[in-house]
Amino acid sequence: MAAECLKTIAHPVRLRLIQLMLSKRYTVGELAELCETAPHQTSEHLRLMVRCGLLSSLREGRNVFYSVAEPHLEHIISCIEERFQKKE
């Protein structure tokens, strides 16, 4: 199960989606715009991460908001950022 979840986040767009959602919740449209991806592609990435239990979704009226459900993601992303962040 751990390998499956790590494989799920091991995609550049999914990593960026997680980074964004660590600070607040977003709709598919907002995330697609920020990541410069098509909404249907963004939706598929989100669906995979929800299925793994990494994200949660909440419907409010016509909008569905996505947020991080797995508290350990913050630590994982932090380690990745520290290791691979480009020095400027």
Domains identified in the chain and CATH numbers: 2-84 (1.10.10.10)
Asked if residues 54 and 5 have their Cβ atoms less than 8 Å apart, the reply is yes
pTM, two decimal places: 0.89
pLDDT at 86: 67
42: buried, middle or exposed (CB in 10 Å: 19+, 13-18, 0-12)? buried
Tokens of 50: 């929800």
pLDDT at 2: 86
Mean pLDDT of 21-31: 97
Count, in order, helices (H) and strands (E) of the chain: 5, 3
Mean pLDDT of 20-39: 97
pLDDT at 87: 56
In degrees and rounded to multiples of 5, residue 18 shows phi and psi of -65, -45
pLDDT digits (tens, 9 = 90+) for 31-84: 999 999 999 999 999 999 999 999 999 999 999 999 999 999 999 999 998 988
